[in-house]
């Protein structure tokens, strides 16, 4: 027995040693990464960068001035890698032609390799940092012929702002941003709508906020007619935020509380039914201070929206955390549709582009990454895999032929972009019934694709609802070029005020709020 136990104990001790060693190594790497952000980089590297990137030499003095102001610290990175401002800049650089600027972007491929490679090392890199800063000034030069005069002091124009206290930042949000027009309709009015809600929530905070609701681990759900002290606490919580008009203080789950629960669920992205689950109570227990932080973060995101998108009569907005698409006509929402967005490992990026084409009964050209990781291994196991899935070789690539089981469904909407993201139908309709709809590889599945096609083409004499339906049910692809391009804005808003003035809070599915909050104000 001793002979048997010795190798087992030896193995366990070795295994535990490896785990502890790995954890120590991970901690060391994390600390090294942290130090690299807190420690200024070598200022001489700026000159070296411009020697290696002569096409950007024009902006050297501006870049040097920027880093002297920031004591030669990184501005495009946080502890998790490239920050939201870096990704915003990349979108702006990629869409210069949408702003009427026809110009070749220097070192664009190098930039794409950095921002589009999912396996890219997220540790701060001086070349990435300086390339981003140089292209920041390049963008300003080409679009505005220099940084706007009123933005030179703090370089707050698309750059992380200088950190300030929490209270000071809240107060600064009450000052109207110069780049947002208060008279704008639709998506650009969000700043002012969120501002009104912010003031309301600050008043709630001054009055003490709301108390934490007790979660009884023995109770799996509450339904109409149930009695509990927790019910009374829920009632008080919903009264404070205006979901119900009167707090009767009753412990019984009655019809009055049902109305409040349905309203709360509707604005929280939950399935709208009468059942109260522990996760709903957990959501209600998010403090008023945290809700205020969410509002401020999303007000900041509103500052990033380009005024140019309102120049078009039509606009399509996809809000990732809400899993929702909205079609605006003259600033008013005319169609809403549930969507499925990219999984956490295949994050749908935030960007804007113009829809130009609709493909009816489309082929699905399998992306190289999916071909290598999923299709080829499946073919090795089953030589009839392609035929069984209505697929075929197309040169060295694989595509799925049009049909009811096509992964893109019966129609797709294309707005050319470097991320190769588009909107499309799907045969997997059941996915839209889930509260968490982050399933896709990166493209966006639309629950109402036929409705979207009809509303886009409603004034086009070439298409009637009948022709659209026929085109969606053929065995050959039909590609149509739209007569008028439609801006598509893919945004990330975890709080949003609808056209009825009701504020919605959504789960921060990609954990971006705290990253942005840490950039714009100190704890």
Higher pLDDT, 137 or 160: 137
336 strand-pairing partners: 326
Q: pLDDT band at 267, cuts 50/70/90?
A: very high
Higher pLDDT, 480 or 99: 480
Higher pLDDT, 167 or 509: 509
| DSSP at 371 | I
Is residue 379 classed exposed, middle or buried when 0-12, 13-18 and 19+ CB atoms within 10 A define those classes?
A: middle
Query: Residue 436: what pLDDT?
Result: 61
Q: pLDDT band at 185, cuts 50/70/90?
A: low
Q: pLDDT band at 91, cuts 50/70/90?
A: confident
**DSSP assignments along 246-295, one per residue:** -----SB--HHHHHHHHHHHHTTT---SS-B-HHHHHHHTS-HHHHHHHH
Closest to 337 measured CA to CA, from 346, 328, 345: 328
Instruction: Choose the weakest-confidence range: 84-93, 104-113, 386-395.
Output: 84-93
| DSSP at 507 | -
Instruction: Choose the weakest-confidence range: 80-94, 365-379, 483-497.
Output: 80-94
> What is the residue-averaged pLDDT of the chain?
81
Looking at the predicted structure, is the pLDDT value of residue 178 above 60? no
Dist CA 233 CA 236 (whole Å): 5
Cβ partners under 8 Å of residue 71, min gap 6? 40
**DSSP assignments along 106-124, one per residue:** TTHHHHHHHHS-TT---S-
3-state secondary structure of 447: coil
Query: Residue 353: what pLDDT?
Result: 87
Dist CA 508 CA 324 (whole Å): 14
End-to-end CA distance of the chain: 58
Region 155-162 average pLDDT:
46
Higher pLDDT, 141 or 176: 141
Query: Residue 117: what pLDDT?
Result: 67
Tens digits of residue pLDDT in 289-320: 999 999 989 988 887 777 667 667 899 999 99
3-state secondary structure of 227: strand
Q: pLDDT band at 25, cuts 50/70/90?
A: very low
Cβ partners under 8 Å of residue 201, min gap 6? 288, 291, 292, 295
Q: pLDDT band at 281, cuts 50/70/90?
A: very high
Cβ partners under 8 Å of residue 340, min gap 6? 323, 426, 431, 432, 437, 438, 439, 440, 444, 445
**Helix segments in 285-392, DSSP class H:** 288-302, 368-370, 376-381, 385-388
Cβ partners under 8 Å of residue 451, min gap 6? 335, 337
342 strand-pairing partners: 440
Looking at the predicted structure, is the pLDDT value of residue 5 above 70? no
Looking at the predicted structure, is the pLDDT value of residue 149 above 60? no
Q: Which helix (H) or strand (E) holds 316?
A: strand 314-319
Looking at the predicted structure, is the pLDDT value of residue 113 above 60? yes
């Amino acid at each position: 027995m001793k002979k048997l136990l010795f190798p087992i104990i030896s193995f366990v001790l070795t295994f535990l040693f490896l785990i502890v060693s790995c954890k120590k190594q991970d901690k060391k790497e994390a600390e090294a990464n942290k130090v690299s952000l807190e420690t200024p980089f070598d200022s001489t590297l700026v000159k070296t960068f411009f020697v290696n990137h002569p096409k950007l030499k024009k902006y050297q003095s501006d870049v040097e001035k920027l880093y002297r102001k920031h004591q030669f610290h990184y501005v495009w990175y946080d502890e998790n890698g490239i920050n939201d401002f870096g990704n915003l800049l990349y979108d702006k650089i990629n869409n210069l032609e949408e702003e009427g600027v026809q110009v070749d972007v220097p070192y664009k491929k190098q930039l794409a390799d950095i921002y589009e490679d999912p396996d890219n090392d997220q540790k701060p890199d001086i070349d990435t940092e300086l390339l981003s800063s140089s292209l920041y000034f390049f963008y300003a030069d080409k679009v505005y012929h220099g940084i706007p005069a009123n933005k030179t002091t703090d370089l707050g124009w698309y750059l992380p702002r200088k950190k300030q206290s929490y209270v000071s930042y809240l107060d600064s949000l009450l000052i109207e941003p110069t780049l947002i027009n208060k008279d704008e309709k639709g998506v650009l009015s969000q700043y002012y709508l969120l501002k009104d809600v912010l003031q309301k929530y600050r008043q709630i905070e001054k009055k003490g906020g709301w108390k934490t609701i007790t979660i009884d681990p023995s109770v799996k759900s509450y339904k109409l007619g149930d009695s509990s002290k927790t019910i009374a606490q829920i009632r008080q919580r919903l009264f404070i935020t205006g979901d119900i008009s009167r707090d009767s203080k009753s412990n019984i789950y009655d019809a009055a509380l049902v109305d409040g629960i349905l309203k709360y669920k509707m604005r929280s992205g939950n399935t709208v039914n009468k059942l109260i689950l522990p996760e709903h109570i957990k959501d209600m227990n998010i403090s008023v201070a945290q809700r205020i932080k969410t509002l401020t973060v999303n007000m900041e995101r509103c500052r990033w929206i380009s005024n140019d998108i309102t120049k078009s009569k039509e606009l399509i907005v996809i809000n990732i955390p809400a899993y929702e698409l909205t079609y605006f006509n003259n600033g008013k929402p005319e169609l809403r549709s549930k969507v499925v967005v990219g999984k956490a490992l295949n994050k749908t990026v935030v960007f804007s582009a113009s829809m130009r084409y609709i493909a009816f009964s489309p082929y699905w050209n399998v992306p190289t990454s999916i071909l290598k990781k999923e299709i080829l291994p499946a073919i090795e196991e089953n030589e009839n895999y392609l035929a069984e899935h209505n697929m075929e070789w197309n040169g060295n690539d694989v595509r799925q032929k049009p049909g009811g089981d096509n992964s893109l469904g019966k129609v797709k909407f294309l707005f050319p972009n470097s991320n190769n993201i588009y909107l499309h139908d799907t045969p997997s309709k059941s996915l839209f019934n889930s509260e968490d709809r982050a399933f896709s590889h990166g493209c966006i599945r639309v629950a109402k694709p036929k409705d979207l096609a009809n509303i886009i083409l409603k004034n086009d004499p070439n298409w009637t609802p009948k022709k659209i339906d026929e085109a969606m049910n053929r065995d050959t692809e039909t590609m149509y070029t739209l007569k008028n391009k439609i801006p598509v804005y893919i945004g990330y808003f975890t709080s949003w005020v609808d056209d009825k003035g009701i504020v919605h809070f959504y789960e921060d599915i990609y954990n971006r709020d705290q990253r942005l909050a840490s950039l714009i104000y100190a704890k």
